[in-house]
Amino acid sequence: MKYPPSAERARLSEVFSSLQGEGIHAGERHLFVRFEECHIHCRYCDELGKPGEERNLDALLAEIAELEKREGPHRFVSFTGGEPLLYLKFLKPLMQRLRERGMKNYLETDGILWPALEQVIDLCDCISMDMKPSSVTGEKNFEAEHEKFLQIARRRETYVKFVLSKDIDIPEFERLVAVVKRTAPEVPVVLQPLSSEREGHEDDQLMKLLGELQTLALQQVQDVRIIPRLHRILKIR
């Protein structure tokens, strides 16, 4: 990492209140804490390169308390990024302190860093776990890591999210759904459209493809939902 965290300090790119725009909790009011860095580089990423600034744990907790008072109640504090689990040293005490205040922790993650998840799993109230097909991300294949991650994540409320473009390799998609089938067949699977030309749900061809992928996935697992990004439809942060 360029700026490794300590238990007291980490670099964040934003702290704000909004509607959750993705996944099975879309539409709820969440308080977002966005970490700056990631350990991979998806070719479609719209978060990397957002400049961050160093925050002290106590100052962040005060800011969260203020936002909760002004714009809450929030259903969850959502840790997002970047990759929050890269910030384990800082994330763990942060989650502990929020728990002590009665808040709920929601982890948005790329679903790869399973040893770090093991350290905070009991502090997570919900996990939004990505599965990253290399045909879409341009990254390496993380099938083995995703399987180990999901074995741990399923102890809490969890869903699996696929961000899918027309680049998806269908056999690769089926192999990743098979990971869900053999590891945690009860968890919901969310298909989120991604288009390079426009917002994903506005791309008719892509939405048709997602319908076909949903049919394929339903042959292996029982809860498969197509959910576009609500915050982009509503044009909010």
* Residues found near ligand SF4 in the complex (CB under 6 A): 38, 40-42, 45, 47-48, 81-83, 110
Q: How far is the CB of 160 from ligand SF4 (least distance, A)?
A: 14
Q: Is the Cβ of residue 103 or residue 124 nearer to ligand SF4 in the bound state?
A: 124
> What CA–CA distance (Å, rounded) separates 186 from 45?
29
Q: How far out from the chain centre does Cα 110 lie? A: 6
Q: Is the Cβ of residue 6 or residue 44 nearer to ligand SF4 in the bound state?
A: 44
Q: Which helix (H) or strand (E) holds 95?
A: helix 88-100
Q: Is the Cβ of residue 103 or residue 191 nearer to ligand SF4 in the bound state?
A: 191
Distances (CA, A) of 28 to 15, 41, 109: 17, 28, 18
108, β-bridge pairs: 128
- Note if the bond before 82 is cis, omega within 30 degrees: yes
Residue with tokens 């700026």: 3
Q: Is the Cβ of residue 131 or residue 177 nearer to ligand SF4 in the bound state?
A: 131
Nearest to 9 by CA among 53, 57, 52, 51: 57
Q: Is the Cβ of residue 14 or residue 223 nearer to ligand SF4 in the bound state?
A: 14
Q: How far is the CB of 218 from ligand SF4 (least distance, A)?
A: 26
Q: How far is the CB of 163 from ligand SF4 (least distance, A)?
A: 7
Q: Is the Cβ of residue 103 or residue 227 nearer to ligand SF4 in the bound state?
A: 227
Q: How far is the CB of 48 from ligand SF4 (least distance, A)?
A: 5
Task: Tell me which DSSP letter residue 196 carries.
Answer: S
Beta strand 29-35 with 9-19 is antiparallel
Q: How far is the CB of 66 from ligand SF4 (least distance, A)?
A: 26
Q: How far is the CB of 45 from ligand SF4 (least distance, A)?
A: 3
Contact between 123 and 116 under an 8 Å Cβ cutoff? The reply is no
